[in-house]
A and B are shown apart, each in its own frame.
Chain A
Amino acid sequence: EAQVTQNPRYLITVTGKKLTVTCSQNMNHEYMSWYRQDPGLGLRQIYYSMNVEVTDKGDVPEGYKVSRKEKRNFPLILESPSPNQTSLYFCASSRSRDRALSYEQYFGPGTRLTVT
């Protein structure tokens, strides 16, 4: 089954404790992206990757890091989480790096993160 998976689905952590949210897709997609979704603000892009070893900032990259060492994986790293990073996070992938956003983005199930 074609899908995007994220782990963990739920995470409660404390301020300053480094964490990683994993994202994996099995569709051989070149484009991958991370979003956060907050009430009243909608989905906002954190980082995206057009292909292996190619990443770029989205609209709200502060406090986050990503890496793309393999085509299928795109982990999101919070080096020192803060309470304002409490949010619902989605990973997404899409076919074709050249016209990535003309193609449908497939979203993962989401990771609900709480930072206390």
Chain B
Amino acid sequence: KNQVEQSPQSLIILEGKNCTLQCNYTVSPFSNLRWYKQDTGRGPVSLTIMTFSENTKSNGRYTATLDADTKQSSLHITASQLSDSASYICVVRGGYQKVTFGIGTKLQVIP
């Protein structure tokens, strides 16, 4: 069964600190992996996409990594800001049209 597991479920960090969110998946075959940011009460917005051949990709203060061999991805947030408070969702595309969503990590950045 295709699964996407994220950890931790929730996280509280101080403003300015770094953090790393994890995503492990069992989706096969693998096509790509996206990280979405979902602000409370709003729809998810894509941060980055990782394909099989990519190991690292950055989008501003967000850096995603992918290890396709171990089926793990991480999202690293540098110098966190209050506006980073949101849920971060890992989404893996497998075979034709099949997409599996993780439950998400809820991040709270406090002053």
Contact = CB atoms under 8 A, between A and B. Distances in A.
B43 interface: yes
Contacts of A4: 43
Interface residues of A, number: 21
A42 B103 contact: yes
A109 to B, nearest CB: 6
A110 B99 contact: no
A19 interface: no
Interface string B22-36: 000000000110100
Interface stretch (A61-69, A70-78, A98-106): A98-106
Interface residues of B, number: 18
A107 B44 contact: yes
A48 interface: yes
B44 to A, nearest CB: 5
Contacts of B49: 102, 104
B45 to A, nearest CB: 7
Which residue among A4, A41, A44, A45 has the maximum number of chain B CB atoms within 10 Å of its CB?
Answer: A45
Given A40-B103, A43-B89, A104 B46 contact: yes
Given A104-B34, A110-B43, A42 B97 contact: no
Interface string A81-113: 000000000101000000011101111111000
> 10 tightest CB-CB pairs across the interface, nearest first?
A107-B43, A42-B103, A104-B46, A43-B101, A42-B101, A101-B93, A107-B44, A90-B43, A101-B99, A108-B43
Interface of B: 31-32, 34, 41-46, 49, 89, 93, 97, 99, 101-104
